[in-house]
Chain A
Amino acid sequence: MTTGTGIGASIKRREDFRFLKGLGRYTDDMTMPNMTYCVFVRSPVAHAKLGKIDLTAASKSPGVVAIFTATDLEAVGGVPCGWLVTDRHNKPMIEPKHPILAAGKVRHVGDPACAVIAETYAQARDAAEKVSIDYQELAAVVDMKKAMLGGAAVHDEAPNNLCFDWELGDKAAADAAFAKAAHICKIDLINNRLVPNAMEPRAAIGAYDLATEEHTLVTTSQNPHVIRLLMGAFVLGIPEHKLRVLSPDVGGGFGSKIFHYAEEALVTWGAKKIGRPIKWVAERSESFLSDAHGRDHVTHAEMAFDKDGMALGLKVDTLANLGAYLSTFAPSVPTWLHGTLMAGQYMTPAIHVNVKAMFTNTVPVDAYRGAGRPEATYVLERLMSKAAAEMGMDQAELRRRNFIRKFPYQTPVAVVYDTGDYDAHLDKALALADYKGFEARRAAAKARGKLRGIGVSAYIEACGIAPSSLVGALGARAGLYEAATVRVNPTGSVAVMTGSHSHGQGHDTTFAQVVADKLGIGIEMVDIVHGDTAKVPFGMGTYGSRSLAVGGTAIVEALNKVIDKGRRIAAHLLEASEADIVFENGAYQVKGTDRKKTFGEIALTAYVPHKYPIDKIEPGLEETAFYDPKNFTFPSGTYICEIEIDPATGETQIIKFTAADDFGNIVNPMIVEGQVHGGLAQGIGQALLENAVYDDNGQLKSGSYMDYCMPRADDLPSFDITTTNTPCTHNPLGVKGCGEAGAIGSPPAVINAICDALRDYGVMHMDMPATPEKIWRALQVAMPKAAE
């Protein structure tokens, strides 16, 4: 029902008024009385023993309040890792300490060695420049293949830099399947390292109230309760009731603001130490060197098919870069969020995935929009299109032949798909993209001297993260439920305290639509409160496309409790049996009569209980629910990319991009479309433009926007987006999650299209980003051959 402001209505985002008017309130907008400013002195080298840190000149610099180094933090814990992966030899991963400030050694360019606190930001900066550190350089570990050979070690605990050697699936079964194959498709590929580049850089303010002995941390986090837990319990030893964490408006996260970072701990700890609040705001250059990066896999994969193109088996061997330290959820990304997706939409009966995760002298790598699933999808979908080309089959038809059509479906890689209809979105995408008419367009392009290609990608993702018992068995050190409180005020307005966190997703609108719909009240009567551990009962935050499926369900469960209590009050007021009361359109009504009480009247009665069954029902109308999902949700979709390459310059132009997604039920189609747009922009950015490049010494060469190329509007076409719907079977809203799909499904669609365009030139693979230079060079090698 698409009426008014309820579920299904494409109403405009309520929060955009304050964002567009510059009225948003971000961490850096906040000041506190007597506040000081922190600047971190970060290592300019990738790997070095820390010699003498000379603070003489810096301490004398004007305005300096304090300077901290590792020796001041000896009593403080390291940055904890939230996921323990057990490797294929049943050994726990190697988990070296990650100190708040570098102790003994620096391990990547950007590793903070010292924190300078001063009266003003400028004074802190000036003083930081006067800190003199003797870096005794060591050989840097950068290339993962070389890292395995030993020699230089990032951590003494891991002499060959291997953190864990993990596997999933049945290797013997996969080997047996390959022995029967009519065709084996092989590929070597790199999933390029990405810098998250949230629009708002990370920032944090720490404060301490001596009177109440209470710590406050304001931080740019996607999950303030998780930060409270990790930092309070594992780093600083502050109990929850003495630590408040706020995440106000946050300008984008894409995963990079899930993690607990050392800077947050330093300002929280330091504020008590100096007795004054401390603010730190990352410079953009600092973000490049300290926000956890994404992706960075080197993979060899093989897929076996029978003579009819039915997939028999898949083997994947991946080196995954973890960077210098284990970031909060880093171990889960190349393992349980990656290996489990290798079945994709296909019935491949035997799958084996091996992942060797490596330490290197680079910025830590962790979840970034899609987190493991884009890497898996890229491997699988490149294999499918490459195999189709090799076998002379149509890439869409090869996929269709292998589709899973019976649900629930147990994959050979641990997960159970509850529902889906892959033919539906394939059909819709093929029609919208005019797939049939492509060869004519290719011929027309050729006549114009252009190389036109089309690429299909059929992705699946596991999101709505995640059942606690399942992730617990897989090594998660937290549960992944969500909490919500619905507080109905005496006059009928509603405040919803949610543990989900909005940093661009539009929760203020989507969640309010769910509440308005369920209670039958106007959306203006609903406030969504998030991002403050003092206001929200608990929460695990926003990532893994989980907010509506998990956080939204917690809200629905709390709403159901509110509605049930209201029913009992209404039954009393209407002198009817509870069983005879129905709640519809915002009113409790006695079935078959016109006797009713509005939701507002019930709310008022709950708070002014003059005529009230006070012996049976307590006053007030406020309910809390914790919801633990029963399974992941499995959105899926078909993306089709059509490109043209100018052989003279190697430049790729995306002519048309079609996305058909099955997100289950949709609350606000406009917001979902916006999420898909953003995801596609990021995925296309990865495929064509973005790349974090380190030199052999571990220096980040693409460390600014001069060298790190972000997608812009003119790099992208106007997207053709549509949806199909098989509602999720295990949450009451029937929703699946849409935040990451675009970034997961699009890179292989783009590269498949490029490889399709270059097929006549014998180019069977092109690593991302497929820059004009790379394509031009490939054409220079291939052209003489093609001319023969």
Chain B
Amino acid sequence: MKLSGTRQLSARPADVWVKLNDVDTLRRCIPGCETLDKVGDNDLKATAALKIGPMAVRFTGDVTLSDLDPPRSYRINGKGSAGPAGMASGGATVKLEAKDDGTLLSYDVDANVGGKIAQLGQRLIDATAGQMAEKFFTAFAAEFPAEAEGQSPMAQPAATPSAGIPAAVWWGAGALLLAIVVYLLAR
């Protein structure tokens, strides 16, 4: 399946970047996320419990970030297994751009599901994915209090680059999370 969309966030890209790179934030925002751990510079492991129609499944997924171009874009790829319920794999391209004093986040996801999830859940997958994306972004948007808006101009390059590789990783983590969300949804 394919899913794409945009979200306007009330924070500058640099701040969004930081939040997206914060594992705790992401863990809070990803629907059903139980664990999210960094296992390498650009690699994360995640588990999430999801309900797809009649199926309650727990995914364990590995997420890898690539094409990191902080703070503009990256690619996140993942593969998750839900044991006997099947598996999912996919990727997402996430882009951030400054817009209207905030950030426009856009994502393009493609995901494939297999096994029982594909056999039984086909018609539910798009809807589930849509709902999960909605939940994630609603939660993620809530991480940026409205009063914070406008305080930090988007040009605060020091904050992000200073993180160096870790920043990318966090970014990646965010992406991963997104990706995970996306694929979980996609599944």
Which A residues form the contact surface with B (CB < 8 A)? 44-45, 109, 128-129, 285, 288-289, 695, 697, 699-704, 706-707
Residue in A closest to B125 when the chains form the complex, CB atoms: A701
A572 to B9 Cα, complex, angstroms: 107
How far, in whole Å, are A288 and B84 apart by their CA atoms in the complex? 17
Instruction: Check B120–A285 contact: CB distance below 8 A.
Output: yes
Q: Could you list some 28 contacts between A and B, CB below 8 A?
A: A44-B86, A44-B87, A44-B116, A45-B87, A45-B115, A109-B114, A109-B115, A109-B119, A128-B84, A129-B83, A129-B84, A285-B120, A288-B119, A695-B112, A695-B118, A697-B114, A699-B112, A699-B114, A699-B119, A700-B118, A700-B119, A701-B118, A703-B118, A703-B122, A704-B119, A706-B120, A706-B123, A707-B123
Whether the Cβ atoms of B84 and A699 lie closer than 8 Å is no
Which residue of chain B has its CB nearest to the CB of A693?
B122
CA A44 – CA B113 in complex, angstroms? 9
Residues of B within 8 Å of A699, CB to CB, are 112-114, 118-119
Distance in angstroms between the alpha carbons of A45 and B114 in the assembled complex: 6
Contacts of A700 in B (CB 8 A): 118-119
CB-CB under 8 A for A44 and B120, given A129-B83, A129-B84: no
Q: Give the interface centre of B86, B113, B116, B119 by most chain A CB atoms within 10 Å.
A: B119
| Bound-state Cα–Cα, A288 to B116, Å | 11
Residue among B53, B114, B122, B123 making CB contact with A44, cutoff 8 Å: B114
Among A44, A128, A706, find the residue whose CB has the most chain B CB atoms closer than 10 A. A44
Cα A697 to Cα B122 in complex, Å, equals 13
Interface centre among B53, B112, B114, B123 (most CB of A within 10 A): B114
- Interfacial chain A residues near B119, Cβ < 8 Å: 109, 285, 288-289, 699-700, 703-704
Question: With A45-B114, A129-B84 given, can you name 10 additional A-B contacts, CB distance below 8 Å?
Answer: A44-B86, A44-B87, A45-B87, A109-B118, A128-B84, A285-B120, A699-B118, A703-B119, A706-B53, A706-B120
Q: A704–B114 contact, CB under 8 A?
A: no
CA distance A129 to B53 in the complex (A): 20
Inter-chain CA distance A257–B119, complex, in Å, is: 22
A126 nearest CB across to chain B (Å): 10
The answer for the CA separation of A699 and B83 in the assembled complex, in Å, is 17
- Is B120 a contact of A701 with CB atoms below 8 Å? no
- The 8 Å CB contact of A703, one of B84, B87, B120, is B120
Contact with A along B135-163 (1 / 0, CB 8 A): 00000000000000000000000000000
Report the minimum CB–CB distance from A168 to chain B (whole Å): 37
Q: In the docked arrangement, what's the CA distance between A704 and B124, Å?
A: 13
Q: How far is the CB of A109 from chain B (nearest CB, A)?
A: 7
Classify the secondary structure of A's interface with B.
Answer: loop
- Closest CB of chain B to A696's CB: distance in Å? 9
A701 contacts B122, CB within 8 Å?
yes
How many chain B residues sit at the interface, stated as a range, is 10 to 19
Q: Provide the residues of chain A in CB contact with B114, threshold 8 Å.
A: 44-45, 109, 697, 699
Q: In the docked arrangement, what's the CA distance between A288 and B119, Å? A: 9
CA of A701 to CA of B115 in the docked complex: distance in angstroms?
A: 10
The count of A-to-B residue pairs whose CB atoms sit within 8 angstroms is 46
Min CB gap B132→A, angstroms: 20
A128 vs B123: C-alpha distance when bound (angstroms): 27
CA distance A707 to B126 in the complex (A): 14
Q: Which chain B positions have C-beta within 8 A of A701?
A: 118, 122
How far is the CB of B121 from the nearest CB of chain A, in Å?
A: 9
Residues of A within 8 A of B112 (CB): 695, 697, 699
A110 CB → nearest B CB, Å? 9
- Chain A residues, Cβ within 8 Å of B122: 701-703, 707
A285→B112 CA distance, assembly (Å): 20
Q: Which residues of B contact A129 (CB under 8 A)?
A: 83-84
CB distance from B81 to the nearest CB of A (A): 9
CB-based nearest B residue for A45: B114
Question: B residues within 8 A CB of A697?
Answer: 112, 114
CA distance A44 to B119 in the complex (A): 9
Report the nearest A residue to B118, measured CB to CB: A699
Q: How far is the CB of A543 from chain B (nearest CB, A)?
A: 28
A705: shortest Cβ distance to chain B, in Å? 10
Chain B residues in 8 Å Cβ range of A703: 118-120, 122
Contact with A along B6-49 (1 / 0, CB 8 A): 00000000000000000000000000000000000000000000
Taking CB atoms, residues of chain A closer than 8 Å to B120 are 285, 703-704, 706
Residues of B within 8 A of A695 (CB): 112, 118
How close is A45's CB to chain B, nearest CB, in angstroms?
5
Bound Cα distance A242, B130 (Å): 59
Q: What is the distance, in angstroms, from A735's C-beta to the closest C-beta of chain B?
A: 42
Task: Kindly report which residue of chain B lies nearest to residue A705, judged by CB atoms.
Answer: B120
List the A side residues contacting B84 at CB < 8 Å: 128-129
* Neighbouring B residues of A289 by C-beta, 8 Å: 119
Instruction: List A contacts of B118 (CB < 8 A).
Output: 44, 109, 695, 699-701, 703
Residues of A within 8 A of B87 (CB): 44-45
Contact residues in B for A702 (Cβ distance below 8 Å): 122
What chain A residues lie within 8 Å of B115 (beta carbons)? 44-45, 109
Shortest C-beta distance, A773 to chain B (Å), equals 13
Nearest chain B CB to A71 CB, angstrom units: 22
Q: Cα distance A285–B116 when bound, in Å?
A: 8
Interface string of B157-175 (1 = CB under 8 A from A): 0000000000000000000
CB within 8 Å of A: which of B82-138?
A: 83-84, 86-87, 112-116, 118-120, 122-123
Bound-state Cα–Cα, A129 to B86, Å: 11
CB nearest to A697 among chain B residues: B112
| B116 proximity list for chain A (CB < 8 A) | 44, 285
Inter-chain CA distance A639–B112, complex, in Å, is: 43
Residues of A close to B53: CB separation below 8 A: 706
Q: How far in angstroms is the closest Cβ of chain A from B91? A: 14
Identity of the chain B residue whose Cβ is nearest the Cβ of A703 in the assembled complex: B119
User: Whole-angstrom distance from the CB of A237 to the nearest CB of chain B?
Assistant: 34
CB distance from B153 to the nearest CB of A (A): 46
**Closest beta carbon of chain B to A646's beta carbon, Å:** 23
Docked complex Cα distance between A1 and B1 (Å): 63
Which residue of chain A has the shortest Cβ distance to B113 in the bound complex? Answer: A699
- In Å, the complex CA distance between A232 and B122 comes to 40
Complex: how many Å from CA A653 to CA B82?
42
A48's nearest neighbour on chain B, judged by CB, is B114
Assembly CA distance A109 to B86 (angstroms) = 11
10 A-B pairs with the lowest CB-CB distances in the bound complex, closest first: A44-B115, A703-B119, A699-B118, A129-B84, A701-B122, A44-B114, A44-B86, A704-B120, A45-B114, A697-B112
CA distance A701 to B126 in the complex (A): 13
- Interface core residue of B86, B118, B123 (most chain A CB under 10 Å): B118
Contacts of A704 in B (CB 8 A): 119-120
Give min CB distance, A614 to chain B, whole Å.
68
Distance between A277 CB and nearest chain B CB, rounded to angstroms: 26
* Closest residue on chain A to residue B120 by CB atoms: A704
**Residues of B close to A128: CB separation below 8 A:** 84
Residues of B with C-beta under 8 A to A706: 53, 120, 123
Q: Which residues of B contact A288 (CB under 8 A)?
A: 119
Cα distance A697–B114 in the bound complex, in angstroms: 9
- Kindly provide the distance from the CB of B145 to the nearest chain A CB, expressed in whole angstroms: 43
Bound complex: CA A270 to CA B169 (Å): 51
Bound form: Cα–Cα A695–B112 in Å: 9
A701 to chain B, nearest CB (A): 4
CB-defined contacts of A45 to chain B, threshold 8 Å: 87, 114-115
